[in-house]
A and B are shown apart, each in its own frame.
Chain A
Amino acid sequence: MAEHSENQNRVTGDCGSPEHRAHRRLFLQGAMASGLASAASFNALFSVPALAQETKKRGKKCILLWLCGAPSQFETWDPKPGTISGGPFAAIPTSIPGLQISQLMPRCASIMDKLSVIRSMSTEPSEHFQGIDVLTRGEQPRPPFTRPILGSVVAEQLGQLDSPVPQFVLLEPCPEGNEFKSFKAGNWAGWLGAQYGPVRSGGEFAIPDILKPESLSQLDHEDREALRSFLSRKFQNDQQSQAAEGYNAAFNRVKGLMSCAPLFDLEKLPQADRDRYGPGAFAQYALQARHLIENGSTFVMVANGMPWDNHVFQHEMHQMLVPELDNILFQLIGDLEDRGMLQDTMVIAMGEFGRTPWLNEARGRDHYSKAWSLAMAGGGIRPGVVVGQTDPLGFEVTENPIDNRRLFATIFKALGIDPKEQYDLPDLPTFHRVEGNVQPIEELLVG
């Protein structure tokens, strides 16, 4: 038992030393004593740890625009105009001399010096579920162990666990989405434990019960919790109850989380901002992601079902989807920069693989994981870099192939998380944050 908890502490960052524990116990006793002493007013019990303005701003954060279904590299970052792979769209020059991207992305072209692109992604799975699994966890599965998803790791490593604002948020209005639907039903936080799983919001997934019943006055609501907390803490201390400790900790977060309810309310965002991002759900939730990051979340993943899986009428579909993405990235990066947050906030736009250089009979592009592209910006990523390249028809990576491991090592390193650290958990073989001792992509890291 004792061994277990120390092992867990190593990962969660609590050193587990006796002094640490003694301090905590004293703190609990202190809280209890003050609870008794101030029973007359109960006011002491109302206080919730204030949002520390400083911690709110410090530390790296990440927004993952999850382009589920897998977008085409040809219609985004790696156009091959005039070839049989290229499709009907042209390539346009960007703010980086000599670099061209798809004509469907004029706004990103204008800020290309703030973005970086990997054109040489080369990964294994070419089916959605497996691809989503590997590109959100960073590694092939090894049952029965479940590796935590990127957002859980980042929230665990960089998050403020005592913050009222949820550290890992999944903004996803869509309950459907084929394989993504079954993936969403799976275990996200893996061996880190459910507390590092995402708070899900968006569409009908508004956080349930986050508002008090209208029949209850604010005073009554606060009275209730003050009394509950008083009685439950007494029980926790008298019985040395670990179950009550966890229970009371959850209630401690209620007031804070309720105070965050406006953060999850799209209607509360300025209309001008909403107009700039555009009317689509993906765009609106990308804006909300910015808002959450500004207010203390550490990792926000934005998704919207699996719209990018264009096996049919690829060009027509991408003609709708890519310009929306183009604008979202443009607005998001611009907003973060204006707020002085870009250097600490990484934005990633990627799917689970790319699409074939050829068209199928339905004029769609099928799954292709051998050579595809993604884009990143901010948060420790050096801007204006293009990593790797593909052959003239986009069949193969010809330079600097990047797999899921090197991608994750780069993301972690840029965010200040050690990619080589070992997970040392009970009943677990030795796992590393990134397996295989791979190197991050140095050229992508800010010096």
Chain B
Amino acid sequence: MLKPPIHNPIARLAACWLFALCTIGIARCLAQVDAARIDALIDAGYAKAAVQPAEVCSDQVFVRRVYLDLAGRIPTLQERKNFLDDPSTDKRIELVDRLVQSEDYVQNFADTFDSLLMGRAPIGKIAERKKLWRPYLENVFRHNRPWDQVAREILLARPQSPNQVGSVWFLYERNDNAQAIAEAVAPAFFGIRIDCAQCHDHMIASEIHQKHYWGLVAFFNRSKNQKTNAGPRISESAIGGFSDFANIHGSSYPNVLTFYESKTIDETRPEKDAKQEDSDELYLPRENPDEPRIPKFSRREKFADEILTGHPRLAHAFVNRIWAMLLGRGIVHPFDQMDSAHPASHPELLDELAKAFIESGYDIRSLVRKITASRAYQLSSKPPAQANDPATFAWAIERPLTAEQLTRSIQIALLQQANPNHPLLADLRDRMPEVLPETITTDVGDALFLSNNPKMDQILLEGSKPEGLIGKLASNPDLKAGVQNLFVTTLGREPSEPELDAVLEYAQKRLAKESAAEPITVWRNIVWALIASAEFRFNH
């Protein structure tokens, strides 16, 4: 029986709301079920390693962590308060739901994926990327585009609609260098590094063969950058791109169209020294004169259709990378070397997450939601006694803030709002380019930068305006309240007694009449000490 249509606009709105609420409710419920499965598999790992996991973290630790991971910055005072005051028992997952819908999430994930897919780049290149590539990436996360489709668009590089034009940039920026393309495609979409299979089969991951390297190169070696009236495009020739590669023993092999854990694409190879003639016959009739012509046998299309589509690694690599972003290391670590030399710590979990990701239609948000709902994500960062293996995920692994996260978070702390293009960012990005580092190290240059760089000085001056954190502290006669507020604003927690005493003592000493220091100077010193503290520098 058909339902009667709802004519009353208010009722219709209400029905829509109800529907939306139910959908969100179901999704939330599903996320929790999935999270329970993650917990069960992680628990099994604890039992096997005989470790007791850390406690689940407090709400104030959670709110800082999840804002940094999803919104790319610490929460404002108001955001923090809203969360802590919320009486709901589901408030953690509710916050995640709000954050993955936010523009901050879009920017944060676009930042991270720009670095992971394209590498860190000098400022000139970043300006170029802003024209096409960045809007494309933002669109992916804003509209939660399915990852398999995104991968296909990027590697096929034949935009079908205006919001896909930026997809060509992944290939375009590599400037006709098919080896650079192959070396970027393998980690970005398949979670493996093949660089060293250029000259020989992989030394420590013997399943990665030299033919995989040269096969992947061959899929892209007929592609060329082309400037068209419609913008940058990647053309493809119907001929050429045949060569042999030699291994270290001197034997030589043809570069057939093949790839790791996939098939070999049939292609007629011309006789040695036979000259191939290019002709219009070899191309499809042009539909749009602005677009490059398309060969009837397109290697790129073969790759997209027959290698990429349904490749088992695509989901595994993506799931492992999101896990690494949220938990500080991949289920396979490093996250982009998913080969036999780097076994998964929780293989079953990886398989199940990948399978569910495929079944969800490569839904990025639901993956993020389910991992953040797990207990492993929500553990305290203090390692429990006896635990020493981070691969057990028995405590939350500390991660350094990226340059983007740090620049925004300093601004939030100082001004409660962030300009994503703050001048500090370019310098910090040069100084601290790491995104998802394999191991955390601090270079003495980082410490010099935070201690002495004029841009750090500048941002503290911005925070010294009357409405800034330092300005407010300097005009507050209640020192104790000031210090408490300072800790909450910067670190998201109240000071401990020794901390309160130490900072108060310092402030009182320097603010005493005989010291004759300007209050603003004294508070700037204190605020710097918090912003340059280890606790601020890391997500924990």
Contacts and interface: CB of A to CB of B under 8 A. Distances in A.
Contacts of B398: 241-244
Contact of A220 (B503, B521, B540): B521
B438 to A, nearest CB: 11
Contacts of B530: 228, 231
A144 B203 contact: yes
A220 B454 CA distance: 15
Given A241-B540, A243-B398, A228 B529 contact: yes
B534 A227 contact: no
A250 B534 CA distance: 11
Interface in A209-246: 209-213, 215-216, 220-221, 223-225, 227-228, 230-232, 234-236, 238-244, 246
Interface in B494-534: 496, 498-499, 501-503, 505-506, 510, 521, 524-526, 528-530, 532-534
A320 interface: no
Nearest to A428: B204
Grouping DSSP codes into helix (H, G, I), strand (E, B) and loop, the A interface class, with mixed when no group exceeds half, is helix
Contacts of A247: 442, 447, 534, 537-538
A39 B451 contact: no
Nearest to A39: B502
Interface in A410-446: 427, 429
B10 interface: no
A144 B195 contact: yes
A194 interface: yes
Nearest to A246: B442
A195 interface: yes
Given A228-B528, A231-B535, A249-B442, A239 B540 contact: yes
Interface in B432-461: 440-449, 451-454, 457
Interface in B375-399: 381-383, 388-391, 398-399
A223 B534 contact: no
B449 A243 contact: no
B444 A250 contact: yes
Interface in A380-415: none
A196 to B, nearest CB: 12
B447 A231 contact: no
Contacts of B445: 207-209
A212 B390 CA distance: 38
B196 interface: yes
B501 A39 contact: yes
A212 B525 CA distance: 14
B441 A246 contact: yes
Contacts of A210: 448, 452
Contact of A244 (B447, B448, B499, B534): B534
Contact of A257 (B388, B399, B444, B506): B444
B204 A427 contact: yes
Nearest to A36: B498
Contact of B440 (A209, A221, A243, A254): A243
Given A235-B534, A427-B204, A251 B382 contact: no
B441 A244 contact: no
A1 interface: yes
Contacts of B529: 224-225, 227-228, 230-231
A143 interface: yes
Contacts of A209: 445, 448-449, 451-453
Interface string A22-46: 0000000000000010011010000
A291 interface: no
Nearest to A166: B444
Given A144-B196, A236-B534, A223 B501 contact: no
A234 B449 CA distance: 22
A2 interface: yes
A241 B390 CA distance: 13
A253 interface: yes
A248 interface: yes
Chain B interface residue bracket vs A? 35 or more
Contacts of B341: 427
A228 B527 CA distance: 9
Given A143-B196, A240-B382, A241-B540, A39 B535 contact: no
B400 interface: yes
Contacts of B451: 209, 212, 221, 224-225, 251, 254
Given A40-B505, A209-B448, A224-B528, A243 B534 contact: yes
A221 B521 CA distance: 11
A8 to B, nearest CB: 11
B498 A39 contact: yes
Nearest to B205: A144
B444 to A, nearest CB: 5
A242 B387 CA distance: 13
Given A36-B498, A241-B398, A1 B447 contact: no
Contacts of B381: 239, 241
A232 B532 CA distance: 9
Contacts of A208: 445, 448-449, 453
A184 B36 CA distance: 50
Given A223-B510, A223-B525, A224-B529, A211 B452 contact: yes
Contacts of B203: 142-144, 429
Contacts of A235: 533-535
Interface string A176-212: 0000000000000000011100000000000111111
Interface in B161-204: 195-196, 199, 203-204
B494 to A, nearest CB: 14
B252 to A, nearest CB: 20
Nearest to B504: A39
Nearest to B495: A231
B21 to A, nearest CB: 40
A22 to B, nearest CB: 15
B183 to A, nearest CB: 12
Contacts of A243: 398-400, 440, 534, 537-538, 540
Nearest to B503: A227
A251 B525 contact: no
Nearest to B342: A427
Contacts of B533: 228, 231-232, 235
A1 B441 CA distance: 17
Contacts of B195: 143-144
Interface string B394-433: 0000111000000000000000000000000000000000
B89 to A, nearest CB: 27
A324 B177 CA distance: 42
From B448, B501, B537, residue with most partner A Cβ within 10 Å: B448
Contacts of B526: 227
A250 B447 contact: yes
Nearest to B448: A209
A216 B538 CA distance: 26
Contacts of B383: 240
A224 B530 CA distance: 9
Given A2-B388, A194-B443, A254-B448, A220 B499 contact: no
Nearest to B496: A234
Contact of A1 (B382, B388, B453): B388
Contacts of B199: 143
Nearest to A256: B444
A1 B451 CA distance: 33
Contacts of A193: 441
A225 B531 CA distance: 11
11 contacts: A2-B388, A144-B204, A194-B441, A211-B452, A213-B453, A225-B529, A234-B496, A242-B440, A243-B399, A251-B447, A429-B203
Given A40-B505, A230-B529, 19 more contacts: A42-B506, A144-B203, A144-B204, A207-B445, A209-B453, A212-B451, A213-B452, A213-B453, A215-B457, A221-B451, A225-B529, A228-B529, A231-B529, A231-B530, A234-B496, A234-B499, A244-B534, A250-B446, A251-B451
5 A-B pairs closest in CB distance: A227-B529, A244-B534, A144-B196, A250-B442, A209-B452
